Amino acid sequence: MTGNRSAASRPSRVRARSAAIAAFVVLAAMVPAAASAAGPQKIDAELPYVCAFPSGERASTVRISAEFPDRAERGEAIAPTGVTTTLELPAEAVADLTAPQAATVRAATRLTVGVAQEEATAEAVWHGIAQPVALPASGPLTLTATGEVPTVTGRGDGALRFTAGDLAVDLTPGAADGTDVGAPSLTVSCSPAQTPEGGLLATVPVGADAAEPSGSPSPPGTSPGAPEPAPGTPRDRQGDRAPATAENPAGSAAGRNAPPCAYTEENPFGPGSMNAYITGYNNVRKQKGASLLPVSCVLLETKEMLAEPDENGNYVVTIKAVGELHHEGRKQSPPFRSTFLTFGFVPTTATMVLEQTGPMTVDFATTYVGADIVAETFIRVPLRLRVTDLEVNGVSLDVGSGCRTEQPLRSTDPDPANHPGDHLVLYGKGEQKYGEDATGYMLLTGGPLAGEATIPAFTGCGSGRENLDRLLTASVSGPGNHIKQIQGQTCTPSVPVFGDENSAAQCTEDLQPYVIPVAER
């Protein structure tokens, strides 16, 4: 692996952010919700926010519209419907979004909503996706996002109060047709400005004699007895590093928000190979939303390294590797639960796994252009999606033990003659100028990979008289599902690199990947 200068002379600032080797899909069954006895209360709140851009903090306006029930019974799940988050950016902020060849911008939003009932408090995250909009030559910019909203259940009598909190916005420049132009995404953090109302969105009385809680709601947080998001509610999974101490300078995998990813006797690859964590998002086009891939373990083994000049006389080093997902001795992802809103208002939660059905191949080519390097990577893997549990509007549907896609997820391969069959293709590109940090994707330091997949039809779903194949196929299956995955810094157990968060550590002391990546949209 010495052919990659990004590994041999790694700057201390390099952090593990890298490419994922799997795609995750969220299912939403097209089952109508039961009629609710409670009528809706419509809210349309216009709130002042302050957003931090590279050029400085900018006063912005956030409009939140939704429908809440006018009341709820104790133990009844509440799910706001028709949720729209609109961000109005001033003209000064638009200049931070300009990039070469960029004509549009795509946004993904994550609004933290505080929920309080009496003294109990909790938080929910409202996700939204905005369609690409044209970048104006001058003046302000308006971005409107819709998406998934978790349900909340009050545990006792008393009103539930919903309050708008911090807003994170991922902004991705694009071409005029909305396609990627290769410009880096920008994540903007926005905080509510102080107002007398404190960002209150809605109050929903709960119980037969529900009344307004006295006083102001507590700040968003957690406490025993707090209202809980319903099971399966998607949560943001943030990456982290293992805590470093004097006794444990590289940290330990124990207690981290990631599954075990160490080499054991049952693993197929030897200790001279590598392991890494992956995570990311996968758009579900039919649902106009995205699902989160939980942090998963991938094992990689180098098979061959080739070195030869290209037609321009540049030196090219190609590394070919194989890999597999690894979870509890199986070639699959950890089980994960995700929620979407069918028709924009029916909460549907599925428990799923991605099963690897064939070899994962990695082709990593590094071209040395003078003192600089450019790398291109293609990762190919056949992944079948299996559904193990399905709930629609809180009602469990029996999907049986064999509910899965008929074929693996399918991408258009740029080299079909040498790579036949159905499989997912993810592509990454990285660069490193002499004396600077690497950007983009490198096999060892990681980075983002992207692709597009067709979700095949489902089979074997349902038991007895209830056949859910057509239901799931009509809801989810189809082409055009964009994928963006992130792989963390690799760890090579045979030559582990320890350290702390300031020295580009690669492995924990128990030889797990040191870095847990953060999903990026």
For the domain that residue 78 is a member of, what is the CATH number? 2.60.40
Nearest C-alpha neighbor of 112 from the set 12, 220, 185:
220
**pLDDT for res 109:** 86
User: Quick one: CA dihedral 249, 250, 253, 256, positive or negative?
Assistant: positive
Nearest C-alpha neighbor of 278 from the set 384, 350, 354:
354
Nearest C-alpha neighbor of 313 from the set 375, 368, 374:
368
**pLDDT for res 232:** 30
Nearest C-alpha neighbor of 150 from the set 39, 232, 246:
232
Instruction: Based on the fold, state whether residues 98 and 211 are members of the same structural domain.
Output: yes
User: Quick one: CA dihedral 10, 14, 19, 24, positive or negative?
Assistant: positive
Instruction: Based on the fold, state whether residues 86 and 120 are members of the same structural domain.
Output: yes
Instruction: Based on the fold, state whether residues 177 and 266 are members of the same structural domain.
Output: no
Kindly state whether residue 297 falls inside one of the protein's structural domains.
yes
Given a cut of 60, is residue 168 above it in pLDDT? yes
Q: Tell me how far CA of residue 265 lies from CA of 259, 321, 342, in angstroms.
A: 17, 20, 44
Kindly state whether residue 287 falls inside one of the protein's structural domains.
yes
Of residues 37 and 94, more confidence is placed in 94
The three-point CA angle 129-109-355 to 5° equals 65
**Which of 181, 207, 229 is at the close of a domain?**
229
Q: What is the mean pLDDT of the segment spanning 274-303?
A: 84
Tokens, residue 392: 């629609």
**pLDDT for res 216:** 35
For the segment 300-339, what is each residue's pLDDT rounded down to a tens digit?
A: 988 887 777 777 777 788 888 999 999 888 899 988 876 6
Tokens, residue 382: 């056949």
Tally of CA atoms within 13 A in the half-sphere of 320 that contains its CB: 6
Instruction: Based on the fold, state whether residues 301 and 432 are members of the same structural domain.
Output: yes
Which band of pLDDT confidence, cut at 50, 70 and 90, is reported for residue 256?
Answer: confident
Given a cut of 50, is residue 122 above it in pLDDT? yes
Task: Decide if 369 contacts 421 (C-beta within 8 A).
Answer: no
pTM exceeds 0.75: no
Place of tokens 């030897």: 270
For the segment 356-391, what is each residue's pLDDT rounded down to a tens digit?
A: 999 999 999 988 887 788 999 999 999 999 988 887
Q: Tell me how far CA of residue 189 lies from CA of 311, 420, 504, in angstroms.
A: 46, 44, 26
With 0-12 / 13-18 / 19 or more C-beta atoms within 10 angstroms meaning exposed / middle / buried, residue 304 is exposed
Instruction: Based on the fold, state whether residues 163 and 51 are members of the same structural domain.
Output: yes
Instruction: Based on the fold, state whether residues 414 and 271 are members of the same structural domain.
Output: yes
Residue 315 carries which side chain, given as an amino acid letter? Y
The three-point CA angle 278-281-282 to 5° equals 120
Kindly state whether residue 374 falls inside one of the protein's structural domains.
no
Domain that holds residue 142: 40-229
Kindly state whether residue 106 falls inside one of the protein's structural domains.
yes
Instruction: Based on the fold, state whether residues 279 and 213 are members of the same structural domain.
Output: no
State the Cα–Cα distance between residues 158 and 154, nearest whole angstrom. 8
DSSP secondary structure of 450-501: EEEEEEPPEES---TT---HHHHHHHH-EEEEEEEEEEPPPB-TTS-----T
- Polymer length in residues for the chain: 521
With 0-12 / 13-18 / 19 or more C-beta atoms within 10 angstroms meaning exposed / middle / buried, residue 401 is exposed
**pLDDT for res 458:** 92
Which band of pLDDT confidence, cut at 50, 70 and 90, is reported for residue 268?
Answer: low
DSSP secondary structure of 369-383: ETTEEEEEEEEEE-E
Instruction: Based on the fold, state whether residues 132 and 15 are members of the same structural domain.
Output: no
Tokens, residue 166: 């911090």
- Residues 212-230 as b or e (16 or more Cβ within 10 Å = b): ebeeebbebeeeeebbbbb
Kindly state whether residue 371 falls inside one of the protein's structural domains.
no
Kindly state whether residue 355 falls inside one of the protein's structural domains.
yes
Estimate to the nearest angstrom the gap between the alpha carbon of 354 and the chain centroid. 15
Task: Decide if 28 contacts 234 (C-beta within 8 A).
Answer: no
Tally of CA atoms within 13 A in the half-sphere of 126 that contains its CB: 26
Q: What is the mean pLDDT of the segment spanning 392-410?
A: 87
With 0-12 / 13-18 / 19 or more C-beta atoms within 10 angstroms meaning exposed / middle / buried, residue 501 is middle
**pLDDT for res 208:** 54
- Residues 133-144 as b or e (16 or more Cβ within 10 Å = b): bebeeeeebebb
Instruction: Based on the fold, state whether residues 242 and 102 are members of the same structural domain.
Output: no
**Which of 194, 229, 264 is at the close of a domain?**
229
Given a cut of 60, is residue 219 above it in pLDDT? no
Q: What is the mean pLDDT of the segment spanning 179-183?
A: 68
Of residues 272 and 350, more confidence is placed in 350
Of residues 276 and 31, more confidence is placed in 276
State the Cα–Cα distance between residues 508 and 501, nearest whole angstrom. 11
Q: Is 11 helix (H, G, I), strand (E, B) or coil?
A: coil
Q: What is the mean pLDDT of the segment spanning 135-141?
A: 85
**pLDDT for res 501:** 58
The single-letter DSSP state of residue 184 is P
For the chain, the maximum distance between any two Cα atoms, rounded to a whole number of angstroms, is 81
Instruction: Based on the fold, state whether residues 160 and 209 are members of the same structural domain.
Output: yes
Kindly state whether residue 172 falls inside one of the protein's structural domains.
yes
Q: Is 179 helix (H, G, I), strand (E, B) or coil?
A: coil
State the Cα–Cα distance between residues 393 and 164, nearest whole angstrom. 25
State the Cα–Cα distance between residues 487 and 495, nearest whole angstrom. 20
**Which of 229, 262, 277 is at the close of a domain?**
229
Which band of pLDDT confidence, cut at 50, 70 and 90, is reported for residue 33?
Answer: very low
Which band of pLDDT confidence, cut at 50, 70 and 90, is reported for residue 74?
Answer: confident
State the Cα–Cα distance between residues 130 and 112, nearest whole angstrom. 17
Residue 273 carries which side chain, given as an amino acid letter? S
Report which secondary-structure segment, H or E, holds 249.
none
Of residues 502 and 68, more confidence is placed in 68
96: left (phi over 0), alpha (psi -120 to 50) or beta: alpha
**pLDDT for res 517:** 92
Instruction: Based on the fold, state whether residues 225 and 240 are members of the same structural domain.
Output: no
Kindly state whether residue 66 falls inside one of the protein's structural domains.
yes
Q: How many domains does the chain have?
A: 2
State the Cα–Cα distance between residues 278 and 294, nearest whole angstrom. 8
Of residues 470 and 237, more confidence is placed in 470
Instruction: Based on the fold, state whether residues 218 and 109 are members of the same structural domain.
Output: yes
pLDDT winner (highest mean) among 192-206, 263-277, 412-426: 412-426
